[in-house]
Structure 1
């Protein structure tokens, strides 16, 4: 089984209905044998994952330039009751950068759209 990349950024490639790949650099933290990603719930990658779970992941830099080979994987949206474990994995991986990002996003959400969930967690497993 191929190992998922463990770099600071990974290029998460989701696929449109036409099969066209759409790569996006994201933070991804190891959580057991999978990676977890936190993103906006209305992002294109979440919308594309709703129709196909096929993805590829590859190590990359902050601008999305690939630093290694891509790995075929599957991705699913994480149910809310599993978010605590996923958040803990991101906090372990990114430390204070994660805490600042998460806290500021939650604060902005409470100020602008109280009572709604504007983010999603994605779990990526090797295919």
Structure 2
């Protein structure tokens, strides 16, 4: 049976504007229990920022995290998929581009995000990755 992105994606992704400080983005991630948020300008996707991006591209650079904006920390060369694409294609893209999350766009507007964890839960919920994906974070 063919499966589609729309069937497993996280709808209504959290978005921030490029001028949002990395501290504010980190707080959103903490409060919403997220590993990534989409960076948008208006209703258009500009990039994706992960918790790792915040550490590597912002904090490790030594700047003031209150003054550093997410524009400098986000990946702006983002691979995207449409909601009507098959999951097998998403797997290929994740492998090809070595990414764990792919924004879902419909006519240029972000409508969701699909992650490696989503794929693991859909394909093999009993796998170690599936178990890890549903586990509560150890904070």
Task: Report the TM-score when normalising by structure 1.
Answer: 0.28
Q: Which has the higher contact order (CA 8 A, sep 6+)?
A: 1
Q: Which has the higher helix share?
A: 2
Greater Rg by CA:
2
